[in-house]
Amino acid sequence: MIGCKPDTSAEKCVVVINSCDAYADVWPLFFAAFKDHWSGCPFPIVVNTESLDFSVSGLDVSAHVSAADQQSSYWGERLLATLKDQSSEYVLMLFDDFVLERDVDEDAINQCIGWMDANPAISVFYFSHIPGASRPGGDYIGFEEVPRLTSYRLNSAPAIWRRKHLIELTRKSDSPWVWELFGTSRTFFHHGRYFCSQPGRETIYPYNYTKGGAIYRGRWVEEVAGPLMRRYDLDIDLHERGVNGEQGSPRTLFEKLCILAHGFRASGFWAPVIVFLLFLDKLRLRTGSA
C-alpha cells in the first residue's frame, strides 16, 4: 500500500462517487474493495445520491443528498449540486461500479494534482486511455493529450478533474450517457486541456475497464462482480438486479432514437458531428487501425 500523503492533499481534492438510491445494493461491494485497496485514502469521499445516508467504518465517507424530495431529478442536476457544495480545487470522479481490483497508485494521483497546480489550463487527467488520443503528453509522463475533435473527450472514466471545469461542462438535464456521449461537444470550445493514460499505463485506479466495470446497463457483469463478492464474503443475490454477462448487445431502435433526441437537446447542431466521430471510431476498430 502506498504511504501517507501530505495533509494539504485532503484540502485539495474530494472523491465523488456518482450513484443513486437505486444502486445502493452496489455500495457494499464498491466500498469493500475500496477499503481493501485504498484504506489510507487521504481525501474525503462523497456519495452523490438522492436520499439515502451512507457511511463506512474506517473511511471518511458521507452521502451528499441532493434531491430527497425529488426522486426523479436529473443526474446532471444532482452532480452539479454535489460539485458546487465542495470547496476543494479538484475532484476524483468515480462511478459506483468501478470496483477496485488492485491497489490505487496514490503517488501518481498526487503527481497529477501537482501538475494541475502548476498548469491551471489542465482540466483533467483520465486514468484510462481514450481511443484517438495520440499527442504526446510532454512533461506528463504516462499520459497523452486528447485532441479537440475526439469522441468521448468528456467521459466517465476514473479521473482527476479541476472542479470548476467539470461544473462548466455539466448541464442540469444531463444523464450519464448524454453527458459523455454528446456533452463531449462542449469540450470542443472549452479552454481546458485534456489528458488520458497511455495504452498499457492505465494502472492508477485499477478496475476492470475492459468490461466497463461491475455493472452493464443496470445488470451485474457476473465475471467481474461474482469473484469479488466471494472474495469479500458479501451476501448479495446477483439475480435480484439481474446478470448481464455479455457486453455490447445492440440497443433497440427506440433506445437509439431516444439517445439521439437527447443528443440534439444536449449539443444542438454538434450532434451529427458526434455521431460521425463515433462512426469513425467503429471503423477504426473494424479495420484494426490506431
pLDDT of residue 198: 92
Residue 216 lies in a domain: no
Q: Report pLDDT digits (tens) over 152-199.
A: 899 999 999 999 999 999 999 888 888 988 888 889 889 999 999 999
Residue 94 lies in a domain: yes
CATH code of residue 74: 3.90.550.10
Domain residue limits at 16? 8-207+250-287
Quick one: cell of 229?
Answer: 463478492
23 and 96 in contact (C-beta within 8 Å)? yes
* Listed residue (259, 268, 270, 262) closest to 149, CA to CA: 270
pLDDT of residue 217: 83
109 contact partners, CB below 8 Å, separation of at least 6: 13, 92, 160, 204
187 contact partners, CB below 8 Å, separation of at least 6: 148, 153, 154, 169, 194
Residue 88 lies in a domain: yes
pTM of the model: 0.84
Residue 12 lies in a domain: yes
**Within its chain, how far is the Cα of 66 from the centroid?**
19
101 and 257 in contact (C-beta within 8 Å)? no
Q: Report pLDDT digits (tens) over 19-53.
A: 999 999 999 999 999 999 999 999 999 999 999 98
* Listed residue (137, 144, 152, 134) closest to 188, CA to CA: 152
Residue 3 lies in a domain: no
Quick one: cell of 167?
Answer: 461544473
Residue 133 lies in a domain: yes
Number of domains in the chain: 1
Cα 281 from Cα 150, distance rounded (Å): 9
Class of residue 67 by CB neighbours under 10 A (exposed 0-12, middle 13-18, buried 19+): middle
137 and 145 in contact (C-beta within 8 Å)? yes
Residue 239 lies in a domain: no
Cα 155 from Cα 180, distance rounded (Å): 4
Residue 52 lies in a domain: yes
44 and 81 in contact (C-beta within 8 Å)? no
Going residue by residue through the chain, which has 290 residues, state the pLDDT in tens, using 9 for 90 and above.
333 444 445 679 999 999 999 999 999 999 999 999 999 999 999 999 999 988 899 899 999 887 655 555 789 999 999 999 999 999 999 999 999 999 999 999 999 999 999 999 999 999 999 987 777 667 899 999 999 888 889 999 999 999 999 999 999 988 888 898 888 888 988 999 999 999 989 999 999 988 889 998 889 999 999 999 999 999 988 888 999 754 445 666 566 666 666 666 666 655 666 565 655 555 554 555 44
> Please, where are the H alpha helices in the chain?
8-12, 27-37, 75-84, 106-118, 163-168, 176-181, 222-231, 238-241, 253-267, 271-287
Which amino acid does the sequence have at 48?
N
